[in-house]
A and B are shown apart, each in its own frame.
Chain A
Amino acid sequence: MNGDLLMIHCENLTKKYSDGFVALNSISFDTSGRINTLIGRNGAGKTTLTRILSTQLMPTSGTATINGMDITKNVSEIRRSIVSIPQEASPLGILTAQEQVGMFLIGRGHSFRSAKEEARIALETLGLGDFRNLPADKLSGGMKRKIFVAMAIASRADTVFLDEPTTGLDPISRIEVWSAIREIDSEIFLTTHYMEEAQDLSDHVFLLEHGNIAARGSVNDLLKPFSGKVRVESRSEIPDSVKIGTMWISYVSSGDTAEYLEKGCTIKPISLDDVFISRGVEIEP
């Protein structure tokens, strides 16, 4: 792995599907820090970008490198240095956690003995030691996701791609998986639409919107425009607001909330959710 932190570099990366849909529209970016997170709504292009970078899908145009290796020219080298855990990946129900992680490691070049031992250690690290010999269809949703995180931990890959690793999990399972992700000693490229997850784990965040990078920076950078503000939610129209569903949302100074409370509005503290919600709302400086 390179000593510097320039893990992924993209230049004018574009993906246009055969039906004409443009999933990625000439995006360019460099990652920064250990955990980089791509946030965006469903269909924003997160999975497409992850699949292209992890050599599962060809881009239509543009270039990208991972630790200096080109995703179209150095495919074998990249595949040796990365792990990609697909969105909604599910373990084979008939195999145990130990067998699945072991088989994955054997695929990455471990000997049978080393794969067995490394799989055991990774599963124990994630608290699955007592369950590692049960068929996966007897495990909870959180435990099943942890099997994939165990693959990432045990692989000791330079770069790990995790595509929506906690989608569909209950809050406790999500926290368990987040703890597990922190155990991965690699550069991580994470996609999620859970803002709490991005806020909790990321060094650097990219907001992807309709195939374009709409915002980027550290969590603090992204929240800077909201400094000293709170979110106001109302069922009736309020000034400078955006309508989402049946709700009107606005951002006001934390000292100006009294009149909104009198009107029965709900006041909420700012979170990374607001980077999303505020698209279309003018945030006054």
Chain B
Amino acid sequence: MCSSQEVLRLNLRFIVSLAWSYGFRVIFRGPSYIISSMSAPLTLLFIVSILSHGTLIDYALVGGFLGLIASVALSSSGDAAFMRLQLRFQDLYVASKVSPSDYMIGLTLSYVIFSLPGIILYAILGAIFHIFTLGAVLALIGIMCFLVVGTSSISFIVSSSIKHVRNVWGIAGIMSVIMTVLPPTFYPYEYIPKWALYALSATPVTPAAVLAQWAFGLSPPMINELYIFIIETVIYFSMARYLTRWREN
């Protein structure tokens, strides 16, 4: 029998190993995926800048960080479902010491690593356009951490309920667009009515965008979105941890 200390060490090793293998290795061996993940946020940055004659470029840059990490995490539901249904990768680990939390956190971290090239590119653009202050950067890092937990959890919940491989990429694509482009990620949240803002707050990207715009001094504060963000992140993570199918019935 392993002591709890050993179990903790084992879990962390597996998490690091999965994150490193599925995140870092992909950056070097499949660079087209990196470009693909950056293409949508960069395209939106370009469109928003052109249509607003540059007035909303700060919004689009701040939103780009969130859009990038959220779209990678949300489209990863396709990956997770494909790995479960087609490659039987998850089955391999169900009958082992690996817990659903280890697996989920490992995959989530791999998406964070996978997003790093895009985040670096946005950081360079942000520096060029002088949008950063120390406080705003720290707030953005915190927001992105919560966002990746929330969106990855949604991904994991959705991926575990997909039953056929043929639906995998369609559902992942729909989720990624609806949950990252529709919310006020790339435009000021004041542009949409309150009811729509609250409706869109079902996706963690909305409160994340509101808080980021607040932190960068682009829009007025909205404290309710902070509570919504924290509560729904905890709820989504708990649902992913306890409601998704690991051992099937």
Contacts and interface: CB of A to CB of B under 8 A. Distances in A.
A56 B90 CA distance: 10
A106 B92 contact: no
Give the size category of B's interface with A. Answer: 20 to 34
A274 B110 CA distance: 50
Interface stretch (A78-86, A232-240, A246-254): A78-86
A106 B97 contact: no
Given A56-B95, A58-B249, A108-B96, A92 B89 contact: yes
B95 A84 contact: yes
Interface stretch (B13-21, B36-44, B208-216, B220-228): B13-21
A1 to B, nearest CB: 15
A283 B92 CA distance: 42
Interface stretch (B25-33, B139-147, B184-192): B25-33
9 contacts: A55-B94, A57-B249, A77-B1, A86-B88, A89-B89, A90-B89, A95-B21, A103-B17, A108-B97
B231 interface: no
A32 interface: no
B95 A92 contact: no
A84 B94 CA distance: 9
Interface of A: 51, 54-58, 75-77, 79-80, 82-92, 94-95, 99, 102-104, 106-109, 111-112, 135, 148, 151, 161
A89 B10 contact: no
Q: 7 smallest A-B Cβ distances: which pairs?
A: A84-B95, A86-B88, A86-B91, A89-B88, A54-B95, A90-B87, A106-B17
B97 to A, nearest CB: 6
B130 interface: no
Contacts of A83: 95-96
Interface string B85-125: 01111011111111000100000000000000000000000
A86 B96 CA distance: 12
Contacts of A95: 21-22, 25
A113 to B, nearest CB: 11
A79 B25 contact: no
A166 to B, nearest CB: 15
B95 A94 contact: no
Contacts of A55: 94-95, 247
Interface string B59-95: 0000000000000000000000001001111011111
A109 B97 contact: yes
A contact face: mostly helix, strand, loop, or mixed: mixed
Contacts of A51: 91, 248
Nearest to A112: B13
A103 B18 contact: yes
Interface in B218-249: 247-249
A82 B96 CA distance: 7
Contacts of A57: 247-249
B2 interface: yes
B95 A79 contact: yes
A79 B29 CA distance: 33
A90 B86 contact: yes
A90 B88 contact: yes
Nearest to A72: B247
Nearest to A55: B95
Contacts of A108: 96-97
B93 A107 contact: yes
B247 A82 contact: no
A157 to B, nearest CB: 9
Given A80-B2, A86-B92, 17 more contacts: A51-B91, A51-B248, A56-B95, A89-B91, A90-B86, A90-B87, A92-B89, A94-B29, A99-B25, A102-B17, A103-B18, A103-B21, A107-B14, A108-B97, A109-B6, A112-B17, A151-B92
Given A57-B247, A79-B97, A84 B13 contact: no
B3 to A, nearest CB: 12
Nearest to B2: A109
Nearest to A95: B21
A103 B18 CA distance: 7
A152 to B, nearest CB: 11
Nearest to B94: A56
A58 B247 CA distance: 7
Contact of B88 (A87, A103, A111, A112): A87
Given A94-B30, A95-B21, A107 B89 contact: no
Given A56-B247, A94-B25, A107 B97 contact: yes
Contacts of B91: 51, 56, 84, 86, 89
Contacts of B14: 103, 106-107
B95 A82 contact: yes
